[in-house]
Structure 1
Amino acid sequence: MIDVSLQLSVSDTRRRFDLDVAFATNAPFVALYGPSGAGKSLTLQAMAGLLPVRTGHVKLNGRALLDTADGINLATEARGVGYLFQHYALFPHLSVRDNIAFGLTSWRRRLKAEDAARVDELIESFGLTAMARSKPATLSGGQQQRVALARALACNPQVLLLDEPFAALHSALKRELRAELQRVLAQRGIPAVMVSHDADDVLALADEVVLVEGGQVSQRLRADDADLRARLL
């Protein structure tokens, strides 16, 4: 169960944006769909603990990551959340292997043996063995996306958050990587919340669609809703 209720505001010198979204679902793959600027990415960032929330909660299978009413606000690294950023956010000076392992290390310790084994398994699973020592700049867009996804999974997350994961890829590669993402999530039993304004991504992957407009949830649709395609296209 993913249970989210978030109220927050972001502003600069020119404008203010108010986010007030709420949804609860047992669906294994949820898509937040809507136009650019609707508040979808802000919702992911707040779920991950990257934005301050005025009021609300984020709960995964009954475990509160955030609950302002009870004074609970876990640090990002304690939330058990994997995050795939839109532009992957790979470290250009680190190798593929070190990028994947980054969240499992600190300046005070080396990678534990069990963590090193997990990194090696992810490298093999995503077909990255031949480029494990390579830097991100030498990789294709699809390879960079695989590295970013492997890094997000390295910490054994309770939920995977995906921000426009296929936006930078051409259509044929999108289809290939959608299938790969479905395979990985099914194998590992990890629920996912994806932000997208690409109807094809949503129709291919989502079990439930949350329509977001102007910082609010306007509608929720199941994947088997007969009107889903008509509403998205």
Structure 2
Amino acid sequence: MIDVSLQLAVSDARRRFDLDLAFATDAPFIALYGPSGAGKSLTLQAMAGLLPVHAGHVKLDGRTLLDTATGVCLPPESRGVGYLFQQYALFPHLSVRDNIAFGLTSWRRRLQPADAARVDELIDAFGLAAMARSRPASLSGGQQQRVALARALARRPSLLLLDEPFAALHTSLRRELRDDLRELRRRLGIPAVIVSHDPDDVMALADEVFLLEGGQLRQRLRADDPGLRAALEGRP
């Protein structure tokens, strides 16, 4: 069960954006869908602990990650959340292997044997062995995505957050990686939340869809709803 209620505001010198939404679901793969600026990525960032929240809560299978009413606010590294950033956010100066291992190390300690084995397992699982010593600049978009996804999974998260994971990829590769991602989530058995403004991504992956607009939840639809495609395309 993913249970989220968020109220927050972000602003600069010119504008202010308010996010105010709530949803709870047992669906294994959900999508936050809407136009650019709807608040989709802000929702993911708040769930992951990357943004301050004025009021609300984030709970995962009964575990409280955030509850402003009781003062609970776990830091990002303690939330058990894997995050795939829209532009992958790989470290350009690190190799593929070191990028994947990054979340398992700190300035206080080096990679432990069990963690090193976990990195090797992910490198093999994602077909990255031949490029394990390469740096991100030498990789294709699809390869970079696999590295970023492996990094997100390195700490065995209880929830996977995916921010526009196919935005930088061409159409044929998107189809292939959608299939891979769907199978990966099923095999791992962990819930996932994907942010997208592409109807095809949503139709291919999501069990439940939340339509966002202007920082608010406007509609909730199941994958088998006959009106889903029309709702995604803005047709009556």
TM-score normalised according to structure 2 size: 0.98
User: Does 2:36 correspond to 1:31?
Assistant: no
Give the root-mean-square deviation of aligned CA atoms.
0.5
State the distance in 1 between where 2:101 and 2:140 align: 20
User: Does 2:109 correspond to 1:109?
Assistant: yes
Cα deviation code 1:100-145 (max 9, x no counterpart): 0000001111111111111101100000000000000000000000
Q: CA deviation at 1:205?
A: 0.2
Mapping 1:18-167, distance limit 5 Å: 18-167=18-167
**Counterpart residue number, 1:206:** 206
User: Secondary structure at 2:117's aligned position in 1?
Assistant: helix
Q: Which runs of 5+ in 2 are unaligned?
A: none
State the distance in 1 between where 2:158 and 2:48 align: 11
User: Secondary structure at 2:83's aligned position in 1?
Assistant: strand
User: Secondary structure at 1:37's aligned position in 2?
Assistant: coil
Q: CA deviation at 1:57?
A: 0.1
- The one-letter code matched in structure 1 to 2:63 is R
Paired residue total: 233
Q: CA deviation at 1:67?
A: 0.3
User: Secondary structure at 2:17's aligned position in 1?
Assistant: strand
Mapping 1:1-20, distance limit 5 Å: 1-20=1-20
Q: Which runs of 5+ in 1 are unaligned?
A: none
TM-score normalised according to structure 1 size: 0.99
State the distance in 1 between where 2:231 and 2:51 align: 31
